[in-house]
């Protein structure tokens, strides 16, 4: 039993160096606690905690819906779009989150027209 535990610990330690630490969104806040959401890159979204990513994408959703004067919230669509944005951001960490969202929304619109 101790041998199994030792192997498990060694395996975790060996793979742990490949795992990146998550960064709290507070790391991107200014002295007053505000985050410039227009400047955040995909690396920030992909590298934060899931709870922070959820909070941030919900904020962006509200922002975009407000710009579009929409007042409905589709939970399933929101979760799907959040997942797609995070996957896109992991592949493109250098771009801004708002640019990734724009790409996803344009793809969604294009797919809707193509149907």
Ordered domains of the chain (ranges, CATH)? 22-114 (1.10.890.10)
pLDDT the model gives residue 14? 46
Q: Tell me: the pLDDT tens digits for 13-42?
A: 444 444 568 999 999 999 999 999 999 999
First to last CA, the chain: 57
Which parts of the chain register pLDDT below 70?
1-20
Do the beta carbons of residue 63 and residue 37 sit within 8 Å? yes
Outline where DSSP puts E strands in 4-64.
none
Task: Give pTM, 2 decimals.
Answer: 0.74
pLDDT the model gives residue 17? 44
| 35 beta partners | 29
Neighbour count for residue 4 (Cβ, 10 Å) = 8
Q: How is residue 102 written in tokens? A: 């724009």
């Amino acid at each position: 039993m101790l041998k199994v535990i030792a192997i498990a610990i060694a395996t975790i330690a060996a793979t742990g160096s490949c795992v990146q630490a998550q960064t709290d969104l507070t790391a991107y806040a200014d002295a007053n606690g505000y985050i410039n959401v227009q400047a955040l890159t995909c690396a920030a979204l992909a590298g934060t905690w899931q709870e922070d990513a959820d909070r941030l994408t919900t904020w962006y959703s509200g922002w975009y819906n407000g710009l579009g004067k929409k007042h409905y919230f589709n939970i399933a669509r929101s979760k799907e779009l959040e997942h797609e944005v995070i996957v896109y951001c992991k592949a493109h960490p250098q771009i801004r989150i708002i640019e990734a969202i724009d790409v996803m929304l344009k793809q969604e619109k294009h797919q809707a027209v193509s149907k």
